[in-house]
Amino acid sequence: MIQSHAKKALIIGAEIGGAALALFLKSTGLESEVYEAREQPEASR
């Protein structure tokens, strides 16, 4: 049996910094999931 030990990052409180971090992590091959409480980013209000 082959087991995968893939790591995944959880980003909470995204805003622009969280989105940038997710893109950076993807470029390094690390999967990420972003959670944001607000429906719209703060800057677009």
The whole-number pLDDT of residue 38 equals 77
pLDDT of residue 37: 82
Q: What is the pLDDT of residue 27?
A: 95
Distance of CA 24 to the CA centre of its chain: 9
Nearest C-alpha neighbor of 41 from the set 21, 11, 22, 14: 14
Which pLDDT belongs to residue 45? 56
At position 23, the amino acid (one-letter code) is: L
- d(Cα 44, Cα 35) in Å, to the nearest integer? 18
Query: Looking at this protein, which amino acid is placed at residue 24?
Result: F
User: Residue 22: what pLDDT?
Assistant: 93
- Give Cα 39 to chain centroid, integer Å: 16
Q: What is the pLDDT of residue 16?
A: 86
**pLDDT tens digits, 1-45:** 566 667 899 999 878 899 899 999 999 999 999 998 877 666 665
